[in-house]
Amino acid sequence: MTPKTYRRGYPVAVLIGIEQTQAVLWKIFSHVAKQEATINLNGNRADTKALYSFHEAIINALRPTLKEGVRSIILASPQKTSYSQEFMSHLKAHHAWLFSGANKATINEITGSAVTPTQVANLTSTQTFKQLITETTTEETENLRELLEKRLSTADHLVLFSLEEAENAIYTKPPPGKPVPEYLLLTDNYLAGNRRKNRVHRLMQIAQNKQIKTRIVNEESPAGARLNQLGGLVCLLKTQ
């Protein structure tokens, strides 16, 4: 990972600012927010086809971050508007996969504008936003903890507990029919305090390049405490 990535910290959530004629996606890192995409509405909100296409474009812009493993999403729209609720209704009607299964997302809403860098800075500095981030990511990582417990309960050896085992699984191509890496999970304190930090960052980068979901979990959360019991880092495998 580059020095720029170090300064950003690790990805925490996605913030989507939805306005009357556009939406802006921001990736929220532990230290900063980075603009990811701007989606414009081609037409007006009274046109159901135009609004459908607008919402689909937001989803398509969101997919790469979801594939990385970040599944905490916060929707922001101005006071006295229903833009976030309309997008949520679209998700429930056309993208039910976001709300079920092991990889479901956690989506919450907040009142405010999040289109310009200044608006995002103002919004993310509020106590309301910080509390919502905590609630959203805690719910998301609880889903991951449940997934971890299910993998631990199987007899298929689908959980790896050491850096060396994770490296071996992620760096080498598994034989046909053998389990493949799906998630790399580690706590923030494991990452910050590890003497082999460069190796850990390299592993995370290669995992992301191979589209293996990577999540850094707050050690103080229930999921983080469980990861801590297991050494601070686990690699979850899935059967092919």
Classify residue 173 by its DSSP letter.
P
Task: Kindly report the pTM of this predicted structure.
Answer: 0.80
Domains of the chain: 3-141 (3.30.420.60), 154-238 (3.30.1330.30)
Cα Rg of the chain (Å, integer):
19
Residue pLDDT, tens place only, 141-185: 888 898 899 999 887 789 999 999 999 999 998 888 889 999 999
Q: What are phi and psi of 223, to 5 degrees?
A: -65, -40
Whole-number pLDDT of residue 124: 94
Residues of the chain with confidence (pLDDT) below 70: 1-8, 102-103
Distance CA 61, CA 80 (A): 26
pLDDT at 3: 43
Among 204, 215, 144, 211, smallest CA distance to 180 is for 211
Phi and psi angles of residue 209, each rounded to the nearest 5 degrees, phi first = -60, -30
Residue 102 confidence (pLDDT): 66
- Dmax (CA) for the chain in angstroms is 57
Q: Which two tokens stand for residue 142?
A: 């609880």
If you search the block for the tokens 């925490």, which residue do you land on?
A: 12
pLDDT of residue 37: 96
What does the chain come to in residues? Answer: 240
Contact 237, 151 (CB under 8 A): yes
The arrangement of strands across the sheet holding 22-29 comes to 33-40, 22-29, 11-18, 72-77, 106-111
- Concatenating the DSSP letter of every residue in 67-136 gives HHT--EEEEEE-TT--HHHHHHHHHHHH-GGGGSSTT--EEEEEES--SSHHHHHHHHTSHHHHHHHHHH
The C-alpha atoms of residue 208 and residue 2 are separated, in whole angstroms, by 14
Q: What is the pLDDT of residue 16?
A: 98
